[in-house]
A and B are shown apart, each in its own frame.
Chain A
Amino acid sequence: MIKFTDVSFRYNETAQNVLKGVNFALNPGSFHFLTGPSGAGKTSLMKLLALGNFPSGGRITLLDKDVETLDRKDLCSLRQKIGVVFQDFRLLNHLSAFDNVALPMRIQNKPENQIKEHVNELLDWVGLGEHKNDFPPTLSGGQQQRIAIARAVISQPELLLADEPTGNLDDEIGFRLMGLFEQLNKMGTTIVIATHSTQIIETFSHPCLILQGGTVHTPQKTNFIAKKIKNAT
């Protein structure tokens, strides 16, 4: 269960609130899109969900744990249950595709033979089994994105966050990646995807969280899309 109760957030004491009075709850195993205009605070909200930042006010319950009451060690354990796909991939260029994907398991001190087995399996799943020894700079944007997804899911996260995962990709690869997320969701992973692509939101039948004016709205998706189309015309 993920629950935001009257959450506000600002980057420093003197700055204005980026988020204010944010309230929503996500059930385990759900799939949500997070959308809204540029500068609405999507990335800030994703950072709060990924425990990269902490709220200035309000309460966040993440995977049934009250974030405010957790100590540093527990926060690390909770982060291990969250997979994040960054918009800019954030792959480590000095590590091979295999080592990039293996990173979360190594952090969790998993045995090397288990790492080898799972990483190979996952690289095959994302269609990059033949590129496991290649380094990120030698791979295409789509291949890098798939490695970033493989890295985010290798440790079987309970929550997967993806910030504009299709933003740098062409439509075909974007839709294929969405297919991967759907498969993960069917396996029980809660998924939140931040995107501004109406095409993606329209195609996939998942509810939306709309950020506007620093606050989350949860209207009917059809209304949101209709409004977007109207604004565009």
Chain B
Amino acid sequence: MQHKNNQTEPQDDTPQPSILHKVWNVFCVSDKGYDLPLNKSDDLKLLRILITLMSLLCVLTLNSSLILQDITNRWSSGLENKITIEISPETKDGHILSADTIEKESSKIKETLQKNRNVKTANILKHTDIQELIAPWIGNDLSLSDIPLPGLIAVELSDYSENILINIKRDVLETSDYAHIETHSEWLNDLITLAYTLKTLALIVSAIIISLTVTSIITGMKTRMAIHKKEIELLHSMGAHDVYIAKQFQRHATQIAAQATFVGAISAFVILIIMGTVAGQTGSALLPNFSIGTNGLLTTLCVPFILTALCSLSARGTVLKSLREIP
């Protein structure tokens, strides 16, 4: 039996756990080191499944927003400073122009454009190129002789302004009556707005998912506090500081969140790879590129860490707040 007058305390030679050991402990859910039987709660499995799904959805929605960002960038950069001049095969009065006429008109326009100092390049698209462009809508099996194809001139400008565009338009229309200038700006702006809206929606959904994850952890911790009220009061009566008790809940929440979010993120990663493979196999130009780039990979890796950190801090905050209500 120890005595009050016994002042000599043995030195603490207990080996301190390494960082690797601490990290491993986060993933190893056991009752070791817990004063409260937190890992015996009935809703543990449900909470894990919920957070796994939240993490999976979060990674998917954030990657969707990155894919949409990528599409928007490709559309913008791909058509920046570019216009297309079209010689329609059908005139305003309903006559069909011959292929030779279209070719001649195209050449005349190209010559005119090359004289303009603001035009960097002007290339007449070959019939095979035009067929490739319209393939997503009409398929690859169509014979070129079946339909009248327009003449298309892809023009790249060294600079882009309203004045330059007006000058080019005037020169082209003076050269050919059949020409029509497509600046892409109208439909491109619509598509970019659509992509931007979808991206914003994806980010909002991600924020909602994160909030729900945090809410579920807060609810889980409050439930555990109610279940283990007597044990908490016991620790309190022994002089346990609020932080001591809160740390146990925080560690418990961190373990659940770390396990669940990593499983969710890995599942989402696998789903994205499958989607990318399927989209790649269809060969459709309309489907976006689902491949995970560096940003996607970083997002997939970061989501579990961010969600785990949020769950950990929310659990600690919730428990500390509730403990303050105990005298």
Contacts and interface: CB of A to CB of B under 8 A. Distances in A.
Nearest to B241: A76
A127 to B, nearest CB: 12
A51 to B, nearest CB: 8
Contacts of B3: 156, 187
A232 interface: no
A188 B239 contact: no
B19 interface: no
A118 B2 contact: yes
Interface stretch (B8-16, B73-81, B103-111, B276-284): B8-16
A52 B234 CA distance: 10
Contacts of A90: 230, 234
Interface string B247-291: 000000000000000000000000000000000000000000000
B35 interface: yes
B4 interface: yes
A228 B112 CA distance: 123
Contact of A107 (B10, B13, B230, B235): B235
Interface in A171-185: 183
Interface of B is mostly: loop
Nearest to B1: A125
A52 B1 contact: no
A113 interface: yes
A14 B278 CA distance: 70
Contacts, number: 82
A230 interface: no
A187 B4 contact: yes
A78 B1 CA distance: 22
Interface string B93-106: 00000000000000
Interface in B6-36: 9-14, 31, 34-36
Given A54-B327, A92-B234, A122-B1, A80 B239 contact: yes
Given A94-B31, A103-B35, A114 B240 contact: no
Contacts of A114: 9-10, 12
A113 B12 contact: yes
A114 B14 CA distance: 10
B1 A104 contact: no
Contacts of B11: 111
A38 B279 CA distance: 78
B238 A80 contact: yes
A50 B237 contact: yes
A15 to B, nearest CB: 16
A66 interface: no
Given A113-B14, A114-B12, A95 B1 contact: no
A217 B2 CA distance: 35
Contacts of B324: 72
Nearest to B15: A112
Closest 5 CB pairs of A and B: A80-B239, A111-B12, A79-B239, A94-B37, A125-B1
